[in-house]
Chain A
Amino acid sequence: MSRYLAVVGERCVACGACMKVCPKNAIAVKHGVRAVVSPEQCIGCGLCVKTCPAGIIKKVERE
């Protein structure tokens, strides 16, 4: 399990840019409302953090 994890903020616009860039297909836009990260699949690479046009995805240390 990776040390870091991507966390999607409240202001997600559900554009899917994060989903497209994720190398592990660990993010999906659920019901057109917001992006959801699968903690099991996320490797904490931070690509989605740099891509999110709203700048609302954070890379946090796993608990």
Chain B
Amino acid sequence: MKKKRWYDYLWIYTPVYLVLGMFNILFAWLGMIEFLIPLGIALFGGGKLFCNQYCGRGQLFDLLGNRLKLSRKKTPPRFLSSPWFRYGFLAFFMTMFILMIITTVHVFSGAQDLKQAVTILWTFKLPWQFAYHGTLLSPGVAQFAFGMYSIMLTSSILGFVTMVLFRPRTWCVYCPMGTMTQGICSLKEGK
């Protein structure tokens, strides 16, 4: 048994994040941590240290799949690890992220009204007005939070389903952040 370090408890981040977003959607801004830190580490020479040690999501799926035995632990289909699928999913994810930013900009500029909904799997809109209590800033700030929370909830659902169907950390195979940071590291290594 390996000795536990402080970062082995970061799995708590995802459930806390998802619960906080049910009380006040503005907490969804905290999701930026999971975007900026891995990119920063990869860009400044730390490789995939975030995935390897600090990713709370990976740890959570490991915990649910192994400790709570929720995973079937079956080998995932080969296509999941193919560069075509991984970079294709990254492109799709980034496109949806950019569309979310465009909506946010429209709300900031007043061209569009704030939509108090969380969209899961980029399709299903869930009414989420119970977690919005207004903001002193522009409604655009809240629109970004709804978009960010939608991304985080969607990735948690996808990760959970593939954790159950295949191996605990199957999400890591096609995680857009993992693909992006590995891409950055590969470019830096000249491979």
- Chain A positions within 8 Å of B, measured between CB atoms, are 11, 13-17, 19-20, 29-33, 50-56
- Chain B positions within 8 Å of A, measured between CB atoms, are 2, 42, 46-49, 51-53, 58, 62, 73, 75-76, 78, 80-83, 86, 166-173, 178-179, 181-182, 184-186, 188-189, 191
Q: Which has the most chain B C-beta neighbours within 10 Å: A17, A32, A55, A56?
A: A32
Consensus secondary structure, chain A interface: loop
Q: Name 30 interchain pairs, CB-CB below 8 A, sorted by A.
A: A11-B82, A13-B86, A13-B173, A13-B178, A14-B182, A15-B48, A15-B52, A15-B169, A15-B172, A15-B173, A15-B178, A16-B51, A16-B53, A31-B188, A32-B49, A32-B181, A33-B47, A33-B186, A33-B191, A50-B73, A51-B167, A52-B167, A53-B76, A53-B166, A53-B167, A53-B168, A55-B76, A55-B78, A55-B81, A56-B81
- Assuming the A-B contacts A33-B191, A50-B73, A54-B81, are A14 and B48 also in contact, with contact meaning beta carbons closer than 8 angstroms in the complex? yes
